Amino acid sequence: MYRLKIWILLIFAATLSLQSCFEIREVVTFRKDGSGSFSLSIDLSQVKQMIQGFGQQDNAADGSPFKNMEAEYDKTRQKLENVDGVTNMKFISENDGYVITTGFDFSDVAALNRGMDVVYENASEPGDVPEYYKFKRRSFERTDSHNFLDLVKNEFAGSDMGIEGMDLSTLFSNVAYVNEIHFEAREVRRVRSGNVEVSEDGTTVTNRYLIFNETIDQELEFRLRVK
C-alpha cells in the first residue's frame, strides 16, 4: 500500500515514544450478486490525541506521518486501474491526516483478491494471486494469505531505531489488525473455524487480531457457513 515500508516505519517513529496503539482495519462488503467493496484504513487517532494531550494542539496536524501520502497513492491507483473487475478507486484522508483509507469496488471475489494483491504490494505473477477470500455458494473463507502482517512485524523488528532485543509485544501490545465483513443479503449460520464475533442479525463478522501479541489464542483465517 503506497510503499508499505515507508509508512510502517513512519508509524513506528510516531508510536514508539508514546507507546500508543494504532489500528489497521480491513472492511469488505459483499452484495447478493457477489460484488462489493473493499477498504483498508490506518488509524492513528490516538497518537494525535496524545500529542494534543502534551499541549501540542497547534502542531498535531504537522505531526501526521500520512499528511503527504496522497501522491504516493497515485501510484497504487494507476495499478488498480489495470486490474480486471476493480473500479471506483478511492483515497480518503481524515482527522488531519491521522486516518487514511484506500479502497475500491469489485465485481466478484476473484477481482477482490486481485485488487488486494495490489494494495498489499505482493506483486504476484499473473495467475498466482493469493486467494485472500474464498466465497462459493454457502461457504465463505478468509484465508491466512496475508503477508502484509508479516511485513509489518519484519519491518518493526528489522528497523534501525534502536529496538533490538526489545519485546515488541510489550511496546505495541494494542496494535491491531481488524477484519470486518458485511453481508448485505446473506446471514451467517455457523462459524466453522476461527475466533470471530458475529453480530446479532448475522450480517457482520469481526476478527480482531493483535499483531504483536503471541500470548493469546487468535487466528487470521476463519471459515463461515452463510445462507
Over residues 94-150, the pLDDT tens digits come to 766 678 889 999 999 999 999 999 988 776 666 789 999 999 989 999 998 876 667
Q: In whole angstroms, how far apart are CA 214 and each of 19, 170, 177, 185, 209?
A: 18, 11, 14, 36, 10
Whether the pLDDT of residue 158 is over 80: the answer is no
Q: Where are the alpha helices (DSSP H) in the chain?
A: 4-16, 45-53, 70-80, 109-119, 147-157, 168-171
Residue 94: CB atoms within 10 Å? 12
**CA pair distance 110, 129, nearest whole angstrom:** 9
pLDDT band of residue 62 (cuts 50, 70, 90) is low
Whether the pLDDT of residue 68 is over 70: the answer is no
**CA pair distance 210, 24, nearest whole angstrom:** 10
Residue 64 makes CB contacts below 8 A (sequence gap 6+) with: 44, 48, 96, 97, 98
Residue 3, pLDDT score: 46
CA pseudo-torsion sign 61, 94, 154, 19: positive
Q: In whole angstroms, how far apart are CA 212 and each of 17, 52, 195, 196, 219?
A: 17, 26, 17, 18, 13
All three cell numbers of 212: 504483536
Q: Is 43 or 58 the better-scoring residue by pLDDT?
A: 43
- Scan for cell 509489518, then name that residue: 152
- Scan for cell 480482531, then name that residue: 208
Report pLDDT digits (tens) over 171-226.
Answer: 666 778 899 999 998 999 999 999 999 999 999 999 999 887 778 888 899 999 99
- Residue 201: DSSP 8-state: T
- Residue 37: DSSP 8-state: E
